[in-house]
Amino acid sequence: SFGSNYTEDYYKTEKINVLGCLKICELAKKTECKHLIQISSISQKYKERDPYYNIYSISKRHADELIKLHCAQEKIPYTILMPSQIYDFQGNCKKHQSFLYSIISQVKNNQNITIYGSNDAKRNYIYIGDLAEIIEKVIVMNVFGEYCCCALSDTKISELVSAAKYFSKSNSTITFDKTKNDIMDLPDVYTNDLYKIINYKPKMPIEKGIEQILKEI
């Protein structure tokens, strides 16, 4: 559950994201699990004063803390992976990454892009194929602990638009509406410790990913 800004939705978000993980912990105990891997979210590292700190980030942190507590008590080795924004070529991730796919679609259709505020906000997108490769290596190499799982660098909104324009040969333009509030950067909480351990880095640059998405949509 990605939650909302409405307090009545808080219960649902905690129930799904936290108590749902508790069910997984109970199953891990029953099956004598040898390695529990939690695919969490980088947003669980957001602090109270960070942009985008909300019930979702809180619930993901609660879930991870619950997993750590349970696994410590039951002596179950665990890994918590915290990916950034996940995308794929076919659009299966569109539901939760609507901003990225919307920009690509608008540019392809030669629509002009208006960004609220004056900040060329940064985002961090990791290709689902890279994430799958990382998970496989974590399993094979028995890597335990907590790790960020993000692209090696952030991408500005204007860079997303430029890539989409280049590969779709679009005439779209991008403007910033300074009468509106800025779109904020995602908090800079990334580390690349995991990639040193597994000797693997995400290989798909977002520009190449956009090229592949344009071939599918």
Per-residue pLDDT tens over the stretch 31-54: 999 999 999 999 999 999 999 999
Residues 79-88, mean pLDDT to the nearest whole number: 97
Q: What percent of the chain has pLDDT over 90?
A: 92
Residue 5 has pLDDT above 80, yes or no: no
| Angle (deg, nearest 10), helices 206-216 and 157-168 | 50
Beta bridge partners of 115: 176
Rg (CA), the chain: 19
The whole-model pTM stands at 0.93
pLDDT band, very low/low/confident/very high, at 23 (cuts 50, 70, 90): very high
* Cα separation, 13 vs 58, whole angstroms: 10
Per-residue pLDDT tens over the stretch 94-151: 998 999 999 999 999 999 999 999 999 999 999 999 999 999 999 999 999 999 999 9
**C-alpha pair distances (Å), 31 with each of 18, 26, 58, 71, 185:** 20, 9, 29, 13, 42
Residue 22 has pLDDT above 80, yes or no: yes
